């Protein structure tokens, strides 16, 4: 097992949301003519199983009153511009676009861990002779390769975003109860408050039993007193190599919840496409001595289930 606190701090400050969504969105430092350098594309490694959209950073003509330019994006198997097609979509570029043009790939199924290549072409020029551009920056994405005229370019990357369907068919959610800290003593002595007086601890262990890296994300949702809802954090990534285990303790939970001192009552929620072993361990102390101990195995629930 490895502690998650330092890992979590690094993830919160250094990572973009690329577990689930792959987003290569550094400020573009170059652009190329799509037509002149066709086929042009960017490969990536799928980390979720069901797509929502794929976008590439594009420019279009600043031509008010003219028909919009139509572009096509082909999703191919493997790394390169000659793979077998998975799906093809078209999109109309807004006038004077300089940014991501997203293509709707809703429902397209991918194999997690497999490489795919997004290849963009221009179907219409408005006016004729005004080709669209595709933009990128220096290469800092190890999961893929850009292609110009079908040739790999290892020193660059095209700006790309691959958005998953958050309610994918394979998506599972694990919800572990959390109790952390010391509740209000006066309320507890009057039979009120959120828990009996004492120090509470929660540690959630997450194990990847598979033979390849698993991708998951977690958030914390907490309650307030008197039946009021509390805050909900954003999701943060959990990369897990094969057979790896992490421990999410009260320190990590407080970091996620941005609650350094308050008594926390709520849930740690983990979302993933992978079957994981999730076990919550609960302890309580009085006067610095262990007073209670509990253990619960958390089952995954399919997110698209109507029940």
Strand partners, 265: 179
- What is the per-residue pLDDT across 62-116, written as a single tens digit (0 to 9) for each? 888 888 899 999 999 999 999 999 999 999 999 899 999 999 998 898 888 899 9
93 or 128, higher pLDDT: 93
CATH class, domain 2-13+168-302, is mainly beta
> What percent of the chain has pLDDT above 90?
52
Confidence of residue 168 (pLDDT cuts 50, 70, 90): low
Could you tell me whether strands 40-45 and 51-59 are parallel, antiparallel, or unpaired per DSSP bridges? Answer: unpaired
HSE (side-chain half, CA atoms, 13 Å) at 255: 17
The CATH number that domain 21-164 falls under is 2.60.120
**Residue 294 pLDDT greater than 70, yes or no:** yes
**Residue 297 pLDDT greater than 90, yes or no:** yes
* Domain limits, the chain: 2-13+168-302, 21-164
Q: Is the peptide bond before 127 cis (omega within 30 degrees of 0)?
A: yes
CA distance 138 to 155: 6
**Residue 167 pLDDT greater than 80, yes or no:** no
- pTM value? 0.55
The per-residue pLDDT for 263 is 94
Please compute the mean of the pLDDT values over residues 49-67 and round it to a whole number.
88
**If you average pLDDT over every residue of the chain, what do you get?**
85
CA distances from 30 to 43, 58, 134, 302, 304 (A): 18, 11, 9, 43, 41
The torsion angles phi and psi of 188, rounded to 5 degrees, stand at -60, -40
Please compute the mean of the pLDDT values over residues 245-249 and round it to a whole number.
96
The per-residue pLDDT for 35 is 86
The per-residue pLDDT for 303 is 73
């Amino acid at each position: 097992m490895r502690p998650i606190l330092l890992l979590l701090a690094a993830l919160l400050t250094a990572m973009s949301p690329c577990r689930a969504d792959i987003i290569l969105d550094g400020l573009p430092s170059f652009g190329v003519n799509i037509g002149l350098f066709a086929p042009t594309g960017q490969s990536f490694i799928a980390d979720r199983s069901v797509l929502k959209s794929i976008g590439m950073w594009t420019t279009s003509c600043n031509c008010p009153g003219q028909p919009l330019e139509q572009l096509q994006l082909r999703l191919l198997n493997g790394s390169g511009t000659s793979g077998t097609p998975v799906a093809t979509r078209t999109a109309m570029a807004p006038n004077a676009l300089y940014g991501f043009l997203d293509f709707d790939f809703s429902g397209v199924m991918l194999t997690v861990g497999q490489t795919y290549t997004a290849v963009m072409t221009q179907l219409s020029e408005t006016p004729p002779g005004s080709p669209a551009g595709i933009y990128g920056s220096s290469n800092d994405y190890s999961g893929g390769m850009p292609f110009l005229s079908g040739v790999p370019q290892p020193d660059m990357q095209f700006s790309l975003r691959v958005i998953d369907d958050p309610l994918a068919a394979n998506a599972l959610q694990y919800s572990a109860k959390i109790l952390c800290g010391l509740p209000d003593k006066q309320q507890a002595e009057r039979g009120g408050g959120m828990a009996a007086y004492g120090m509470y601890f929660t540690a959630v262990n997450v194990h990847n039993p598979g033979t390849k890296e698993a991708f998951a994300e977690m958030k914390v949702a907490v309650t307030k007193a008197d039946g009021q809802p509390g805050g909900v954090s954003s999701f943060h990534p959990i990369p897990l190599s094969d057979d790896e285990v992490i421990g999410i303790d009260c320190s990590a939970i407080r970091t996620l919840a941005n609650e350094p001192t308050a008594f926390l009552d709520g849930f740690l929620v983990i979302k993933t496409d992978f079957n994981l072993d999730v076990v919550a361990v609960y302890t309580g102390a009085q006067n610095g001595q262990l007073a209670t101990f509990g253990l619960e195995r958390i089952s995954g629930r399919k997110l698209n289930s109507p029940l």
